[in-house]
């Protein structure tokens, strides 16, 4: 069995450079929290903005002067937009955005029938698409808007999944959403001026190309 890859922070020289302002959606747990911890370790002066449904755990310690936590439902455009606005207001710029928030497949929406209060077929639950595709697309839109304010642009890193390429048995909506994000990344790359758009697959996040994906001059 392959061993778990642990990133060696000492090797990420570019990420130790001048402080940057970095937005991480879904930064209170999982991959997002691990990213926030790593960035904090690499440079304690990085400005880190976490936009998530809940705040990060208390053991995540980063200087309050360089941290902004905006709790909201990311599927709300106005709520997520407010998080970016608060970040820009506090730090004056945004250099990179991790489009990371996501959820796993929720129940079987195709073969299990549920009835509504009137006894008719109940509308499917679309939370997976709402979070993994719609909210992620909103994050990308907001990221492009703010990164284009910088003369040098900035970077967008999206947490994708192999399910977006190979599909995952039992997870049709999750696979569809991740495929949508992976596909949109390639199209956005053709259009973005001074904004780099990258997808990092969750099974190889922090792999050998991690620093290249989010390296800053």
Closest CA to 37 of 27, 25, 45: 27
Say what the pLDDT of residue 103 is: 85
Task: Please tell me what DSSP assigns to residue 175.
Answer: H
Hey, what domains does the chain have and what are their CATH numbers?
Answer: 18-212 (3.40.50.720)
In b/e form, how buried is each residue of 170-204, taking b as 16+ CB within 10 angstroms?
ebbbbbbbbbbbbebbeebeeebeebbbbbbbbee
Say what the pLDDT of residue 204 is: 39
How many angstroms separate the CA atoms of 112 and 43, rounded?
Answer: 49
Averaged confidence pLDDT in the chain: 83
**Cβ(195)–Cβ(149) below 8 Å:** no
Phi, psi of 108 (to 5 degrees): -100, 110
pLDDT tops 90 at residue 100: yes
Q: Which residues are catalytic?
A: 174, 178
How many angstroms separate the CA atoms of 23 and 183, rounded?
Answer: 22
CA dihedral 60, 66, 68, 69 (to 10 degrees): 0
- Sign of the Cα torsion 204, 206, 209, 212 reads positive
Residue 175 banded pLDDT, cuts 50, 70, 90? confident
């Amino acid at each position: 069995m392959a061993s778990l890859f642990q990133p060696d922070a000492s090797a990420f020289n570019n990420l130790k450079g001048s402080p940057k302002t970095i937005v991480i959606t879904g930064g209170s747990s999982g991959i997002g929290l691990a990213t926030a911890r790593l960035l904090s370790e690499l440079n304690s002066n990085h400005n880190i903005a976490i936009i998530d449904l809940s705040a990060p755990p208390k053991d995540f310690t980063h200087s309050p002067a360089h941290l902004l936590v905006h709790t909201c439902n990311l599927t709300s455009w106005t709520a997520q937009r407010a998080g970016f606005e608060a970040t820009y207001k506090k730090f004056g710029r945004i250099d990179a955005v991790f489009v990371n928030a996501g959820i796993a497949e929720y129940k079987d929406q195709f073969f299990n029938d549920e009835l509504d209060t009137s006894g008719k077929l109940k509308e499917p639950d679309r939370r997976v698409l709402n979070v993994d595709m719609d909210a992620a697309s909103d994050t990308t839109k907001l990221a492009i808007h703010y990164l284009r304010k910088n003369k040098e642009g900035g970077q967008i890193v999206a947490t994708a999944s192999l399910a977006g390429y190979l599909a995952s048995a039992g997870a049709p909506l999750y696979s569809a959403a991740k495929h949508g994000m992976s596909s949109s990344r390639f199209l956005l790359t053709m259009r973005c001026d001074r904004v780099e758009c990258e997808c990092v697959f969750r099974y190889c996040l922090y792999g050998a190309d991690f620093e290249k994906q989010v390296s800053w001059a």
